[in-house]
Amino acid sequence: MTLDRILQSQGFGTRRYCGDLIGAGLVEVNGELCEDPRAQFEVDGLRLTVDGEAWVACTKAYLMLNKPAGYECSQRPRNHPSVYNLLPVPLRQREVQAVGRLDHDTTGLLLLTDDGQFIHAQTSPKRKVPKVYEVTTAEPVTPEQAEALRAGVQLDDEPAPIAAEACEITGEHSLRLTLLQGKYHQVKRMVVAAGNHVTALHRSAVGGLKLDPALPEGEWRWLTPEDLAALNSKE
């Protein structure tokens, strides 16, 4: 692909604007200045520096974000800033989307991509991708509450009880809940139905992929091939 089209595909602007950046000597490729917009390169793994910004080119973007509280997973947020404001302009320009949503007050692992097939595969109810949540509760967690969550609790708008795939008490006021569904406010509603109340909620894993402990809150990073493989693991 030509260099101007590569920059365009990465979200750096229109093809003409990207060509102007290249012609102005503002683009390096693999550490070397390139002033030819028509120079040809393979996209994936190409190391770019665009007007001083380092970038690794990829045909499709796959990333994890350590979502902080107080952000909405919406392009048109109503009451809080958009989680997309935490991403650099090129990723926003190429319209990456959250793979499912977290409530504004929920923190932790959020996946984003511009690959529609990937979003469908990860969010399809048929896939039953497990998601792990660290739950802080208002009242002490009892064994009876944990057992109720494992056995299934009745939610107002559901025809049948909803059960957690796993539920582990991790502290006096905390538990680890694994769900295979993705219903509206599901964790909070299930905990209420079991006789308690959620005061804080953090998603720690999706499939076999855990939130990178080295990733600061509010920061993002690319998913590695190992990360993508882990997503397909349910262990």
pLDDT per residue as tens digits for the range 193-230: 999 999 999 999 999 999 999 999 999 999 999 999 99
Is the pTM higher than 0.85? The answer reads: yes
Class of CATH domain 3-56: alpha beta
Percent of the chain with pLDDT over 70: 99
Q: Each residue of 84-101: pLDDT tens digit?
A: 999 999 999 999 999 999
Stretch 114-121: mean pLDDT: 93
How far is 3 from 173, CA to CA, in rounded Å? 54
Active site residue 156: no
Where in the chain do CATH 3.10.290.10 domains reside?
Answer: 3-56
Where in the chain do CATH 3.30.70.580 domains reside?
Answer: 62-125+208-231
214: Cβ–Cβ under 8 A, 6 or more apart, which residues?
Answer: none
Instruction: Identify the DSSP state of 235.
Output: -
Which one has a higher pLDDT value, 194 or 158? Answer: 194
pLDDT of residue 157 exceeding 90? no
Q: Each residue of 139-149: pLDDT tens digit?
A: 999 999 999 99
> Among 3.40.50.1370, 3.30.70.1560, 1.10.3720.10, 3.40.640.10, what is the CATH number of 131-206?
3.30.70.1560
Catalytic residue among 20, 36, 103, 115: 103
* Residue 214 burial (10 A CB sphere; 0-12, 13-18, 19+): exposed
64, 109 contact by CB (below 8 A): yes
Class of CATH domain 62-125+208-231: alpha beta
Beta strands in 71-217 (DSSP E): 97-98, 106-113, 131-137, 166-171, 174-179, 198-206, 209-210
pLDDT of residue 235 exceeding 70? no
Where in the chain do CATH 3.30.70.1560 domains reside?
Answer: 131-206
Instruction: Identify the DSSP state of 160.
Output: S
Stretch 22-47: mean pLDDT: 95
Which of 105, 106, 67 lies closest to 87, judged by CA? 67
pLDDT of residue 79 exceeding 60? yes
